[in-house]
Copies of this chain bind each other. A is one copy, B any other.
Amino acid sequence: MKPERVAIIGVGLMGGALGLALLRKKRRWHVAGVGRNAQRLRLARRHGAVQEHTTDLAAGVRDADIVVLAVPVDEIAPLARRIRPHLKTGALVMDVGSVKAPIVRSLQKIFSSSGGPHFVGAHPMAGSEKTGVQHARADLYQDAVCVLTPSGNTPRAALERARSFWRGAGARVVRLDAVTHDRWMALVSHLPHLLADCLVLAADRGPSARRTLRLLAAGSFRDMTRVAEADPRQWDAIFRMNDKNLKVAAARFQKILRRLVGARNRRIPLAKAGRLHSLLADH
């Protein structure tokens, strides 16, 4: 059997790690890197994340069986529009964005013809506060949850291909509708990220206090707020794209926070949080 041809557009941390994961099985997948920056593409190739690369979008996707849009959330729809005319009819297109509903809405219009190419929204829940293929590892997606958000119009075969693709990268595939996905992400990812940023900003008491902050925040504080070092441009785009859900989640959180701050005895809610957290443990 000939390997399936995968084109990864955007060979940063997410795209690079995907290439590395797939290329553990070179007889199953052939991986091409596509991007604007030739130097970054060469770096990805040296790292073994792609086998060939091009800065020519049309040429990069022309022969691809599977195209993965591994670019920031606000670049996904414009990119999809640009590649659409150059895709094979049988191609499967997926993104890796952490917001789904607005992206799925746009891309369903772009890929509306029932004959294909087909689009399936994907959100592999893995990442790092680091960026760039130099930090990518072949096991980034190993045992990570990858949410797929097919719509009613998604052909079963396309969904099955998407599922088997992400399983190949090591992920545990879960199906969720895009709107539900975004509501959950606001609570378990986007709000926590925003809180980490606020926490760092609140702990800063000016330049003269930074020496003390550095000493006292060396342990758990630094670990808990590590995501604050993630790319501000990418996260601003994520927050913006999931703004409504983020506001709802924040309101819910603020209500609980106000209650807990004002409480005299916090033992019962703390015990409840502990029990809930223990439910999140590995099984």
Chain-B contact segment, one of A1-9, A103-111, A162-170, A275-283: A275-283
* Interface status of A202 (Cβ within 8 A of chain B): yes
- Whether B187 pairs with A191 at a CB distance below 8 angstroms is no
Contacts of A276 in B (CB 8 A): 200-201, 203-204, 228
* Interface status of A126 (Cβ within 8 A of chain B): yes
Neighbour of A197 across the interface among B196, B260, B265, B280, CB < 8 A: B260
Known: A246-B261, A276-B200. A188 touches B210 (CB 8 A): no
Contacts of A240 in B (CB 8 A): 264-266
Known: A195-B195, A260-B197. A189 touches B239 (CB 8 A): no
Contacts of A258 in B (CB 8 A): 254
Tell me the smallest distance from the CB of A244 to a CB of chain B, in Å: 12
- Whether B197 pairs with A249 at a CB distance below 8 angstroms is no
Smallest CB gap from A143: residue in B: B218
A267 to B238, CA, bound (A): 11
Neighbour of A212 across the interface among B184, B224, B253, B254, CB < 8 A: B184
Number of copies: 2
Contacts of A218 in B (CB 8 A): 125, 145, 280, 282
A201 to B270, CA, bound (A): 9
- Whether A219 pairs with B257 at a CB distance below 8 angstroms is no
Smallest CB gap from A251: residue in B: B261
* Interface status of A174 (Cβ within 8 A of chain B): yes
Known: A228-B276, A273-B197, A276-B204. A250 touches B261 (CB 8 A): yes
* Interface status of A132 (Cβ within 8 A of chain B): no
- Whether A219 pairs with B274 at a CB distance below 8 angstroms is no
Contacts of A187 in B (CB 8 A): 202-203, 205
* Interface status of A194 (Cβ within 8 A of chain B): yes
A174 to B220, CA, bound (A): 17
* Interface status of A226 (Cβ within 8 A of chain B): yes
Contacts of A229 in B (CB 8 A): 274, 277-278
Interface membership of chain A positions 114-155, coded 1 if the CB is closer than 8 angstroms to chain B and 0 otherwise: 000000000001110000000000000000110100000000
A226 to B4, CA, bound (A): 41
A-B contact pairs, 10 of them (CB 8 A): A147-B216, A187-B202, A195-B257, A196-B224, A201-B269, A214-B280, A218-B280, A225-B277, A232-B270, A254-B257
Residues of A bordering B, CB below 8 Å: 125-127, 144-145, 147, 174, 176, 184-185, 187-189, 191-192, 194-205, 210, 212-222, 224-230, 232-233, 235-236, 239-240, 246-247, 249-250, 252-254, 256-258, 260-261, 264-274, 276-282
Closest 3 CB pairs of A and B: A232-B270, A197-B273, A232-B271
